[in-house]
Amino acid sequence: MDIIFIRDLSIETTIGVYEWERGIRQSVVLDLELGTDVRRSAASGALEDALDYMAVATRLGAYVGGERWELVETLAERIAELLITEFHVPWLRLTLTKPAAVRGARAVGVRIERSAGGG
């Protein structure tokens, strides 16, 4: 399996469990590894044969930024579901970081791996 990756995709959204967080926008940062097979797109040179990482980034920006979230765990699961369903990604690894969420730490977050067959 080949991997398309997107690093440090920063998206502004409303996220948090505390009342003060629900009234502000904060950044979350995504690092994605998306399983795919690049042979077809490499041979054809055609975008329609590729996993379009610009389309992925644009869709995630609209989805993540357009909703309100409480837990980073919930957001990570919803992102994984979206990528598997809409972009037909058979496997992914996602690291979702919430910078400056804890005093004294640069960032906190969650890392998940999911596949189209579950797990």
Active site (catalytic) residues: 98
Distance, in Å, from the CA atom of 52 to the CA atom of 92, rounded to the nearest integer, reads 15
Beta strand ranges found along 1-119 (DSSP E): 2-15, 26-36, 68-69, 91-99, 107-115
Query: Would you say 73 and 62 are in contact if contact means Cβ atoms under 8 Å apart?
Result: no
Specify the length of the chain in residues: 119
